[in-house]
Structure 1
Amino acid sequence: MFVWDTSVELKRVPVSTGGSATITFTVPESATARRYWVESRCDGDESMTQTVPFRVTGTDKPSVVVPGVVGLNADQARKALADKGLLLGRTSGDGDKIQSQNPAAGKEVASGSKVDVDLGKLPPLVAVPNLVDGSQESAEAALASVGLKLGSVEGRGDVVRVQNPVAGREVRRGTAVDISVVSLPPQTVTVPDLVGASAAEVPTILRGRWLVLGQVSGDGDVVRQQSPKAGSRVRIGSAVTISTAVGVDPPRLVQVPDLVGGRLAAARSALTAVGLVPGGSQEGDRDIASQQPVAGTLVPAGTTVTLTVVQPLPWRAAAAALVLLLGIGAVGYRILRKRLEHRWVRGKVRVTARQTPAAAPTITESRTTKPMPVVRIEPHADAGRSILEEV
């Protein structure tokens, strides 16, 4: 028996006693330029073994540089190797990306050689946590704790209502979970008036107030009693029980119009047009600040809609404010005027002092026969006077 490189059997040749055997073989294609051994063995007599070394100096196929395929998937690696004249060899592992290769990138091998790759292991699956009814911040923290991340966020609000994938589904680490959010509902709500309403419409009316329908007694079509009573404040999600009457026609439901921001006169007309009754302050024609029930609520025709108007400023306070503004304006005007006058005098008027010359004295004596005292008046020089001249 002849063996190539101590492991690959080449050929078995039967030999009689005293005979000899020879073979001719082809060097395997996987052989590279290095030293090999061909060994001859005698079956049944291990002492009859001879090994002959020889060196492979070259092959008929040109050598190529092995490209790097780490990080690629199997299909991408197969194409990259084929572009270099190589083949994808043994593939191990169950991951998505190649983690290692043999021969390594940059090594020269014969064209047509195979490159073995290892895909590694898939990351472990994790269960998606429940995010519904929590905040967006708590959802992001819960996902990060299990190796997941927050994906797209639809809607506006504080509370998660929908998630995808759903809670409990097993996904790979790093998967993004999309959520939809809504506004946080109030803690308590007002129970609507259901008496006289159609029993079939009650679930829709309650759902619009974050309430649910509880026990229903009676076989009628119209609500005759309810508990809690209309106007009560209860926690969201509370149940409202009703009893129905037979033989009573259900009322016509209408939708409450949006009146906030409009004028009172126009609101009264709009409510009357749809069969509702305006309530609250009806004085003047002021702007509407709020309404109850809110816009969009379905209520029976004839329901009173309470309107709250914007309160005007009291007349005394308004008068005081007006007097204060006028006073401030008058003081400011006087200050400004005085400053302007000073500026005008400084720029337009100058004072010139001129001295008036003294007049010559005149003495008049009496011509009477009787002597009499004489008073002499001597004029003196005038200190002068100031003359204002416009510049």
Structure 2
Amino acid sequence: MSTTDTPISHKKPRFLGIFLVTSLIGVLLISFSVYRASLELEVVHEVDNMHRLIPAMLGEPALTRIARGEHPLAPGEARLPGDPAYRFFVISDGGLRPLQSGSAADLRLLESIDLESTRVNERGGYFEADGAIRTWVKFPNRDNTRTLLVVHRFSSAGAGALAHVYQQRMIIPVAFYLWLTVWVSLILNHLLRELHAQKDQLQQMALHDALTGLPNRKLMQDRLSKLILASRRDGQQFAFGVIDLNGFKKVNDTHGHFYGDELLRQAAKRIEGALRAADTAARFGGDEFTVLLSPADWATCLTVLDRIQAALNAPYILSDTQVTVSASIGVAIFPVHGKDADTLLFNADLAMYAAKAKGGGISVFEPGAAGQSKDASASIARAGGGASAYTN
């Protein structure tokens, strides 16, 4: 990577994953809700049928005798013909008493349940026990002293009807939910992408120069600090340079800020084009740029600096006007000219002013030298980088 940052890495939202997860959860919830609603519907239907059919099948005299407790059911009245799933009980002040069709187990089960809490309408209700569904209805006598309780265990036909109703009722809710989930997932996916894009944009604005797109002072200082830590660990040297454009103020004052801004944009591109992939350029403000040259042999670093100077010194075409500026480049070498970011920046700045005083060119920081280095290669040789043939 050279001078521009890639956006913050993040996992792109996956529409398929969102769709599958939300669909599965939704279908499970809908299935449970539809099942309970279908069950409730069948129970109400069953209770109503029991309340209508039992008096018709047993006859009012039998119901009256049972409710009064005068004598038990006749043998043929103990159960509904052909259906052993019905159980009969009498409720009175003495409690719950099974009739001929009621077993001791059924009695214990009913005594453990609060029937009123399971009521679905004024006729009766249902409860679930031992893995089965049981409906119940009550037939009180006229003076409400005794009540006939009839409990019915759902038959296989009732379960089949419930399954049929459940299946029919599932089609529309599930289809609607899947349709809704698709649209909600699309909207969520779009919103998440927008949020990530805004996050990247804010990151770009916070760490990059708005005019040139180069990293700003904050990002350059962060990279410089990280490179210092890595170089200390690996025992390597690197170069840090400060660049000033000589003649920029004249262009800005003569032709206006529009031309000045365009010159800065072109200068930034030229600096980027002269760097290696591992190097970094930044704009610190005004016409001041900085470059961070990753560890390499010093002949290579001098070649990069030479390319930068040549690129910046070439004429600029600003709209219909040609202008020329020159570059003053000051260089400090880690760790010879500074072991921390502030010292390197300060010394590179001093070297830049030394180059500016000479009318431009490249100057390497040299402690105690009033005019700084007259020869960049000689200064680098004294810094431990080895001699390279280079003159300003």
TM-score, structure 1 length as denominator?
0.22
Q: Greater strand share, 1 or 2? A: 1
Q: Greater helix share, 1 or 2? A: 2
Which structure has the greater CA radius of gyration?
A: 1
TM-score, structure 2 length as denominator?
0.22
